[in-house]
Amino acid sequence: MLYVSTRGGARPQPFTEILLEGLAPDGGLFLPESFPKLGPAELAAMRGMSYPELAFAILAKFADDIPAGALKRLIDKTYTKEIFGSDDITPVEELEPGLFLLDLSNGPSLAFKDIALQLIGNLFEYVLEKHGKRLNVVGATSGDTGSSAEYALRGKKNVQVFMLSPQGRMSAFQAAQMYSLQDANIFNIAVRGVFDDCQDIVKAISGDFAFKARHRIGAVNSINWARVAAQVVYYFKACFAVGGEASFAVPSGNFGNVYAGHVARRMGLPIGKLIVATNENDVLDEFFRTGRYRVRKAAEVKATSSPSMDISKSSNFERYAYDLVGRDGAKLRGLLEKLEREGVLDLAGTDYFRRVAGTGFISGSSTHADRLATIRRVWKDYGVMIDPHTADGFKVGLERREQGVPLVCMETAQPAKFAETIREALEREPSRPAGFENLEKLPQRVEVMDADVGQIKHYIAAATSRSV
């Protein structure tokens, strides 16, 4: 299978060539030339598979330039009970007839991003070793991505992680998750500033091609294709657990999770609706309701109680838009240039927007008050404690639920990560999974720096040259 760019200007390349890349050279995102289609017999055979077997059946189609035996070993090493807490990996709970919760947050950092990043860690190590390369991952985090990436890459050979986080802006739990890691290949940089300062510094570093090449800088951001591919697997797992067609309610920010559902549907999985749930930062909900995609200015982005969905622009949306324009990269490039110039793209009344209905996407949004009410309701009705992001999905899912179609709500993080909102909703402490009891008391390893690109580059350069 070869991968092309959404903007039509990159040479087709195999999986292991695009794995370590961020954007395609033409500024687009990589995706497969065409989606593999599964026939009824193949789908039936998948039904009884364990999670690792299913992951292998699906990922072998996307990563077909990794020898089958090696890919299988990497997958078997990733999706274990030790790492994800159960053999199911992503268990499905039935809350009432036709209403399900898909647990995606039982990995090491307690957020759904672990499902993809734990695999990425092993894939990176394999490909770097094979190509005799080293990689220095530089990233910015407002909370979940940083810890998930660090837990995935800690102790891995030939890779170091430099993670920028806004000093004093994360929950004590989130900061401790990252800063307590003692692995020599993990570097935490707490920036005196806000998340946007961290992201701007990472962008400045990625934009300095000479620096990037000299210090072998890479990324594990949400546009990485392997992350999407790994997330396709649990849509299959959930449909099989539910017994057939299902709709999914997906708390969304960068559109990676719900886009994986789109891919699963294109591969032949019977999915009803893909219900995109946003918080007050509703760029995606606005698009699906009106056809207008309006990027928010940084100052317009609201700090909410579901912070992992506080985004101005959804990076994976470009992959979905590629299908809306009939997989015509030149056409999409034109539209995106217009979006860049004008800050808004209005597709209302166009054939592009009419295609949305055929893809099954619908949407809704949620507020802080909705989150509190939903957390209370789910606790009272089912005795299940959900986190604020999951609550956004649940609220919108119930609003858009269709009679007779099973609804699967995705659990994207554990409540322990967001104790403040849980206390506000339920007047009690969330329980902590085993191993996290004393997290905030562990010794921390973090470098505090000004929001200064020069200083941070200097630090990265010194650390990367020491390691060679």
Structure tokens at 228: 């999407």
Q: What are phi and psi of 388, to 5 degrees?
A: -60, -35
Position 216 contacts ligand PLP (CB under 6 A): no
CB of 130 to ligand PLP, least distance (A): 28
Is 338 one of the annotated active-site residues of the chain? no
Position 249 contacts ligand PLP (CB under 6 A): no
Region 311-350 residues binding ligand PLP, contact defined as CB under 6 A: none
CB of 95 to ligand PLP, least distance (A): 19
Q: Residues 113, 237, 273, 457: which is the catalytic one?
A: 113
Q: What angle do CA 381, 242, 390 make, to 5 degrees?
A: 45
Task: Using CB under 6 A, pick the residue from 165, 167, 247, 257 that binds ligand PLP.
Answer: 257
Nearer to ligand PLP, 216 or 389 (CB): 389
Beta-strand ranges (E) seen in 328-421 are: 344-346, 361-365, 407-411
Task: Using CB under 6 A, pick the residue from 251, 329, 397, 415 that binds ligand PLP.
Answer: 251
CB of 407 to ligand PLP, least distance (A): 18
Nearer to ligand PLP, 229 or 449 (CB): 229
Whether the Cβ atoms of residue 405 and residue 245 lie closer than 8 Å to each other: yes
Nearer to ligand PLP, 46 or 104 (CB): 104
Region 218-237 residues binding ligand PLP, contact defined as CB under 6 A: 222
Position 253 contacts ligand PLP (CB under 6 A): yes
Q: What's the CA gap between 149 and 113, in Å, rounded?
A: 8
- Tell me the C-alpha to C-alpha distance, in Å, between residue 154 and each of 94, 157, 306: 35, 9, 26
Position 160 contacts ligand PLP (CB under 6 A): no
Lookup result for tokens 């969330």: 430
Nearer to ligand PLP, 260 or 356 (CB): 260
Q: What angle do CA 113, 191, 295 make, to 5 degrees?
A: 60
Q: What angle do CA 360, 267, 331 make, to 5 degrees?
A: 65
Taking the alpha carbons of 100, 55, 25, 457 in that order, is the dihedral positive or negative? positive
Position 215 contacts ligand PLP (CB under 6 A): no
Structure tokens at 85: 């807490």
Task: Using CB under 6 A, pick the residue from 118, 122, 177, 252 that binds ligand PLP.
Answer: 252
Position 101 contacts ligand PLP (CB under 6 A): no
CB of 221 to ligand PLP, least distance (A): 10
Q: What's the CA gap between 431 and 114, in Å, rounded?
A: 20
* 144-153 and 113-131 helices, crossing angle to 10°: 40
CB of 417 to ligand PLP, least distance (A): 8
The stretch near ligand PLP (CB under 6 A) out of 68-76, 153-161, 249-257, 401-409 is: 249-257
List, by residue number, the catalytic residues.
Answer: 113
